[in-house]
A and B are shown apart, each in its own frame.
Chain A
Amino acid sequence: MSEQVRERETRRLDRVVVRFAGDSGDGMQLTGEQFTSETATFGNDLSTLPDFPAEIRAPAGTPAGVSGFQLHFSDHDILTPGDAPDVLVAMNPAALKANLKDLPPGANLIVNTDAFTSGNLKKAGYATDPLTDGTVDPYVVHRVPLTSMTVNAVHATDGGGGVNKKEAERAKNMFALGLMSWLYHRPTEGTVAFLEKKFAKRPEIAAANVAAFRAGFNYGETTESFTVTYEVAPARMKSGTYRRISGNLALSYGLVAAGELTGLPVFLGSYPITPASDILHELSKHKRFGVRTFQAEDEIAGIGAALGASFGGSLGITTTSGPGVALKSETIGLAVSLELPLVIVDIQRGGPSTGLPTKTEQADLLQAMFGRNGEAPVPIVAPRSPGDCFDAAVEAARLATKYRTPVFLLSDGYLANGSEPWLLPTRDELPDLRVEFATEPNHTGAKGPEFWPYLRDPETLARPWAIPGTAGLEHRIGGIEKSDGQGTISYDPANHDRMVRLRAAKVAGIANDIPPLEVDDPSGRARVLVLGWGSTFGPIAAGCRRVRAKGLHVAQAHLRHLNPFPANTGEVLRSYDKVLIPEMNLGQLRTLIRAEYLVDAIGYNQVRGLPFKAAELAGVLEDVINQ
């Protein structure tokens, strides 16, 4: 070991936020994912935020084409991907330009000096070189000729005979990963194994990437640029077996699990749409579970096929995002009328219209709640974290099958692509959701036994699910109003009024079948309640922690069921002086809460396509508490 290394200080931190930023083609998502994987293996708690443009390859070198990946990791449990990076890796001037505003003074900035050519500066919109004009003076800047060092390292390893210069340059993200792995004492075996597996068919590419990765690590070891390295000890987490999981993967697993738990074959009818397509991709792999996936001609056919499969006794599922929900609305109404199980997964993104396809938002709540003709109530379930998408999917399927109703599962782009450690459930912890189909006539008519498709279970108000192939239960259902019980076409005014109310009562009754709204109020002295739903759980909880650390009191409650609300919701809301509802929309939950409970909740609303920051919410909370 050299003298420098012995003299180098290792600082212990309780948490770190790192951000990789580069051009869309620079492999920043892969780099971030792999750094996250190393971090998960090491045992830190973590939360990630990928941030990428909708264009597959926006003009190279421009701010529009910048792709970023932020990771927050710690020695304790954390709730968000972090507000501001402690270190930013900028692979080119555009990445610097797009991300520098988020970097607090004094933070580490690692720049690829090779990319700071006059052409790239111009594309990024820099009139002068930010590395020399004072722009980066507030930061601890590490100037690394990343591209050229990568090429040298790759060619030194393969003697110049393995890959060409362009392919060698492409490994520069692995050089950056190696350097960051060194800086934060990350384990490296996993990355080497990952690269060898990923490029198994092109061993020379694998070798180039491993060479670049090792060179980045060794560069850290030998350079004088870094006087400090950092350690973040493994987090003390609840005992059990963990894996890292993204929201869309957890949601996919939840849907497969729901099929197993209900004993129903899963049928997914879907049309590709960002940010939901990964669920279609994932479910299409699981044929051995009997999962059928159908890539339909459009959103309408996707849900139509799913509903047809439900009629036949499958667990019908459709996955989409907000614009797709708009197209599916009529079929959702049909499912309400047919009273058949159906899970509608909406991975919300910025809207209206095409909006911000790759950015997060939670502005589809009212669409899910009301976006149909007629009185068409649909239960709504929303996960709070990436791992929670698993449980929320199982819960959506439970409600759909038990109550014979379409159910909305409202995730969002942040949960979909963000990841965290996930404590794996054991088989015993998963609920038994087995479903029984009708097999016998349920009514005695003038001519003997009959099957009445709309004769309801008195407790759940669910109708019997008699699937084709069951002799003696042949029946017809449709979107026309049906007579209560017998289920034949009925235009009778009183019957329609009764059926509308029965469908509403069925969904409202779910409130008795879900856990009460829990309140987290450690001091028991809070007068302000902050209420949230969906992916804002992490930032809200982190904001509450900060406020409480200052000696202030605040209570937090988070809704998993948005329709119906838990039975005690009104009671909870009324027991606080003030209710604050932060949402990534202009106040959709607040509208529902005000209408339902006449509670004059305060809104905090941002629609920037990004999750809330903990510090931002802490500030808002303090203001509300101190008012």
Chain B
Amino acid sequence: MTVTTNRSGISNRLLDLVPAAPAQQSRKDFTSDQEVRWCPGCGDYAILATVQGFLPDLGVARENIVFISGIGCSSRFPYYLQTYGMHSIHGRAPAIATGLATSRPDLSVWVVTGDGDALSIGGNHLLHALRRNVNLKILMFNNRIYGLTKGQYSPTSEVGKITKSTPFGSLDRPYNPVSLALGAEATFVGRSIDSDRAHLTSVLRAAAEHPGTAFVEIFQNCNIFNDGAFDPLKDRTSRDDVTLRLVHGEPLLFGAEGDKGVRRAADGSLEIVSADSPGILTHDAAAADPSLAFALSRITGDTHGVTPVGIFRNVDAPTYDEALNRQITDARERQGEGDLMSMISGGETWTID
């Protein structure tokens, strides 16, 4: 396997195991010949365009990139990329990708999933992929609704959601995906918005640079069944007042005038205060302890009138794949390559003439 340094500057110790692209690639190199079949106006188009635009920057050979998805609108994603891809079954993409990533360190493996796929039917696999820190980049498109089954409430829908399956309003409380991922001690957790190409690209780039599982929640508009779910975050006049952009090493300030900030409240949670208040926190995504990241994840539009986007947590930790492959290398160094015939003869044999 050729170990190369990356051409575009994106690098980590695991990505360096993936062969580099022989020449500069373009967005066109990553566009498959398949007709894109999302509803007109779907947020997925914007995400696809951003990913296709970003992949050349990854700088690795196209044939060494694999996208694996589950079931749902978002999971059609792999068909539209000229990489290797698998459109699998509902909720299981993280498990399938785990097998691929751990057995092929020379691949860059991405999972595309949705709020229903990742958090409902596949919730268990997501948690365990995050806890193991497998070298996967998981992009979860959160539209807070079931789209492909035509509009039932999802595990991220707000309580009281009126849908076809909940004509009197949904009853169960939604997951906060970022809190969930941090609860599983995910080593990289980010959040971005479908329509903000520059921001999404920056989060994807950071995810790619992270050795281990990167979980990225992408707010995605479903214009058919849940239109406008993220409008306040997109509206040019309101967005700066309701978006807290997390930048590592920078003070936690937001607002059109930068007039609001985040600090610790007496009970240990975070509170929104005016920017000139004492104790404004500085964002530290690299903190080994996930407490601050978790506290930030508890700031939501519903509870605080502001939504954090960016990278909540980004820490380097041993990955499952490296550890598993090291056990193999170590066993071979210690005991030599396996010999089939001596293995099967085992300890006690006898011979009959």
Partner of A243, one of B124, B125, B328, B345: B345
A424-B84 in contact given A287-B327, A471-B63, A476-B78 (Cβ < 8 Å): no
CB distance from A198 to the nearest CB of B (A): 13
Q: Mark A390-403, 1 if CB is under 8 A from B, else 0.
A: 10000000000000
Chain A minimum-CB-distance residue to B338: A289
Is A479 a contact of B87 with CB atoms below 8 Å?
A: yes
Q: Which residues of A contact B79 (CB under 8 A)?
A: 476, 478, 489
* Alpha-carbon distance between A474 and B29 when the two chains are bound, in angstroms: 11
Is A305 a contact of B96 with CB atoms below 8 Å?
A: yes
Interface segment, one of B99-107, B153-161, B166-174? B99-107
Is A311 a contact of B86 with CB atoms below 8 Å?
A: yes
A309-B327 in contact given A41-B348, A256-B338, A476-B84 (Cβ < 8 Å): no
12 contacts between A and B (CB under 8 A): A237-B352, A243-B344, A245-B346, A260-B340, A265-B103, A294-B324, A297-B124, A308-B95, A333-B89, A473-B63, A478-B79, A488-B34
Known: A269-B99, A313-B103. 15 other contacts (CB 8 A): A244-B348, A260-B338, A288-B336, A290-B338, A291-B328, A301-B128, A311-B86, A312-B99, A331-B89, A474-B62, A474-B83, A474-B84, A476-B87, A478-B85, A478-B87
* Alpha-carbon distance between A313 and B84 when the two chains are bound, in angstroms: 13
Q: Which residues of A contact B235 (CB under 8 A)?
A: none
Is B352 a contact of A257 with CB atoms below 8 Å?
A: no
B257 within 8 A of A: no
Partner of A288, one of B85, B97, B332, B349: B332
Interface size on B, as a range, is: 35 or more
* Alpha-carbon distance between A269 and B128 when the two chains are bound, in angstroms: 14
Is A476 a contact of B125 with CB atoms below 8 Å?
A: no
Is B82 a contact of A294 with CB atoms below 8 Å?
A: no
Is B100 a contact of A312 with CB atoms below 8 Å?
A: yes
A360 within 8 A of B: no
Chain A minimum-CB-distance residue to B124: A297
CB distance from B292 to the nearest CB of A (A): 28
Is B78 a contact of A330 with CB atoms below 8 Å?
A: no
CB distance from B304 to the nearest CB of A (A): 34
* Alpha-carbon distance between A331 and B32 when the two chains are bound, in angstroms: 26
B266 within 8 A of A: no
B98 within 8 A of A: yes
Q: Which of A274-308 contact B (CB under 8 A)?
A: 286-292, 294, 296-298, 300-302, 304-308
* Alpha-carbon distance between A224 and B135 when the two chains are bound, in angstroms: 70
Q: Which of B235-252 contact A (CB under 8 A)?
A: none
Q: Which residues of B contact A307 (CB under 8 A)?
A: 96, 99
Is B350 a contact of A242 with CB atoms below 8 Å?
A: yes
A477 within 8 A of B: yes
Is B331 a contact of A288 with CB atoms below 8 Å?
A: yes
Q: Which residues of A contact B348 (CB under 8 A)?
A: 37, 40-41, 190, 243-244
Chain A minimum-CB-distance residue to B336: A288
Q: Which of A409-468 contact B (CB under 8 A)?
A: 424-427, 468
Q: Which of B82-127 contact A (CB under 8 A)?
A: 82-89, 92, 95-104, 106-107, 124-125, 127
B203 within 8 A of A: no
Partner of A308, one of B65, B100, B346: B100
Q: Mark A470-507, 1 if CB is under 8 A from B, else 0.
A: 11111111111000000011000000000000000000
CB distance from A287 to the nearest CB of B (A): 4
Is A471 a contact of B61 with CB atoms below 8 Å?
A: yes
A43 within 8 A of B: yes
CB distance from A413 to the nearest CB of B (A): 22
Q: Which residues of A contact B352 (CB under 8 A)?
A: 43, 237-240, 242
Chain B minimum-CB-distance residue to A390: B344
A323 within 8 A of B: no
B337 within 8 A of A: yes
Q: Which residues of B contact A472 (CB under 8 A)?
A: 63
* Alpha-carbon distance between A480 and B217 when the two chains are bound, in angstroms: 26
B274 within 8 A of A: no
A599 within 8 A of B: no
* Alpha-carbon distance between A286 and B106 when the two chains are bound, in angstroms: 23
A253 within 8 A of B: yes
* Alpha-carbon distance between A596 and B289 when the two chains are bound, in angstroms: 63
Is B344 a contact of A257 with CB atoms below 8 Å?
A: yes
CB distance from A257 to the nearest CB of B (A): 6
CB distance from A471 to the nearest CB of B (A): 5
* Alpha-carbon distance between A288 and B330 when the two chains are bound, in angstroms: 8
Chain A minimum-CB-distance residue to B331: A287
Q: Which residues of B contact A314 (CB under 8 A)?
A: 99, 103
Interface size on A, as a range, is: 35 or more
* Alpha-carbon distance between A302 and B274 when the two chains are bound, in angstroms: 51
A469-B100 in contact given A241-B345, A286-B343, A297-B124 (Cβ < 8 Å): no
Is B104 a contact of A312 with CB atoms below 8 Å?
A: yes
Which of A297, A300, A334 is the most central at the interface, judged by chain B CB atoms within 10 Å of its CB?
A: A297
Is A478 a contact of B103 with CB atoms below 8 Å?
A: no
Q: Which residues of B contact A477 (CB under 8 A)?
A: 85-87
Q: Which residues of A contact B65 (CB under 8 A)?
A: 468
Chain B minimum-CB-distance residue to A260: B340
Q: Which residues of A contact B84 (CB under 8 A)?
A: 468, 474-476
* Alpha-carbon distance between A298 and B127 when the two chains are bound, in angstroms: 12
A309-B62 in contact given A37-B348, A260-B340, A301-B125 (Cβ < 8 Å): no
* Alpha-carbon distance between A549 and B351 when the two chains are bound, in angstroms: 31
B267 within 8 A of A: no
Chain B minimum-CB-distance residue to A468: B84
* Alpha-carbon distance between A330 and B19 when the two chains are bound, in angstroms: 34
Is A308 a contact of B98 with CB atoms below 8 Å?
A: yes
CB distance from B89 to the nearest CB of A (A): 5
B68 within 8 A of A: yes
* Alpha-carbon distance between A43 and B348 when the two chains are bound, in angstroms: 12
Q: Which residues of B contact A331 (CB under 8 A)?
A: 89, 92
Chain B minimum-CB-distance residue to A290: B328
A533 within 8 A of B: no
Q: Which residues of A contact B127 (CB under 8 A)?
A: 297
Partner of B353, one of A190, A239, A310, A313: A239
Chain B minimum-CB-distance residue to A421: B350
Closest 10 CB pairs of A and B: A478-B87, A305-B99, A308-B99, A304-B95, A289-B338, A287-B331, A301-B95, A308-B96, A476-B85, A308-B100
Partner of A301, one of B78, B92, B331, B338: B92
B64 within 8 A of A: yes
Is B98 a contact of A427 with CB atoms below 8 Å?
A: no
A316 within 8 A of B: yes
Q: Which residues of B contact A380 (CB under 8 A)?
A: none
B303 within 8 A of A: no
